[in-house]
Amino acid sequence: MESVGRVAAVPDDFSPLQLGVTGQFADRHFNIVGRLAKVWEEGSWNEWCVMFDDQRFGWLGEAQGDLVMTFDTPSAAQGGVPHKDQAALAEPGTNWRLDGKPFTVTDVKQVSCQGAEGELAEVFAPGEEVLCVDLKGSGLEFATVEYRRASVKAYVGRFVEFADCRFANLRQLDGWGAKA
């Protein structure tokens, strides 16, 4: 784990999430400890680094109104995901298998980090461009495969509803009460 303080400026946004927010996932309690502000050609989103009470990390992706909780899953990354050159050309709708389960490619894009804060399970090197493949599985399953310079990482998890996370200590939003 690395403490980054604040790297570059995390951009202004209107998110109710912030460092120090607590929440629940699958009946397990977590804390938001860090944030990566990611950006691609046509947009940006937050990856909140969360720490569960058993010291395990997870990533709570907050993108375009959706929340996704994923976990670094080495077995999925080693389980025969396509080579980076192939992945870069993957069309949406292509079927992949991660950890023996079927997934469908929804999005392929070059991603970099525009800012970070707090404590992070891992960091992007400044200016590093990462090939990022988003996939949907059955039900609410979701995965992202990241092709770094020297490694491949797979983050596997699922969509979550804001209300189901039972967040506490949310950021005040001008014009909006604390409850949806």
Binding site for other proteins (CB under 8 A): 9, 11-16, 18-20, 39, 42-46, 62-67, 91-93, 106, 114, 118, 138-140, 159, 162-163, 169-176, 179-180
CB closer to other proteins, 150 vs 177: 177
Buried b (16+ CB within 10 A) or exposed e, 55-75: eebbbbbbeeeebbbbbbbee
Q: Cα separation of 177 and 180, whole Å?
A: 7
Q: Which is nearer to other proteins, 24 or 114 (CB)?
A: 114
Output 12 or 53, the one with its CB closest to other proteins. Answer: 12
CB 160 within 8 A of CB 65: no
Task: Tell me the backbone φ, ψ of residue 104, rounded to 5 degrees.
Answer: -125, 130
**CA atoms in the 13 A half-sphere facing the CB of 57:** 17
Minimal distance, residue 77 CB to other proteins, in Å: 24
Q: What sign for the dihedral angle of Cα 73, 28, 45, 92?
A: positive
The residue (of 30 and 152) whose beta carbon lies closer to other proteins is 30
Shortest Cβ 151–other proteins spacing (Å): 27
Q: Which residues contact 39 (CB under 8 A, 6 or more apart)?
A: 111, 112, 113, 114
58 or 115, CB closer to other proteins? Answer: 115
Q: How far is the CB of 129 from other proteins (least distance, A)?
A: 15
Q: How far is the CB of 88 from other proteins (least distance, A)?
A: 16
In the complex, least distance from residue 148 CB atom to other proteins, rounded to whole angstroms:
22
Other beta carbons within 10 Å of 167: 18
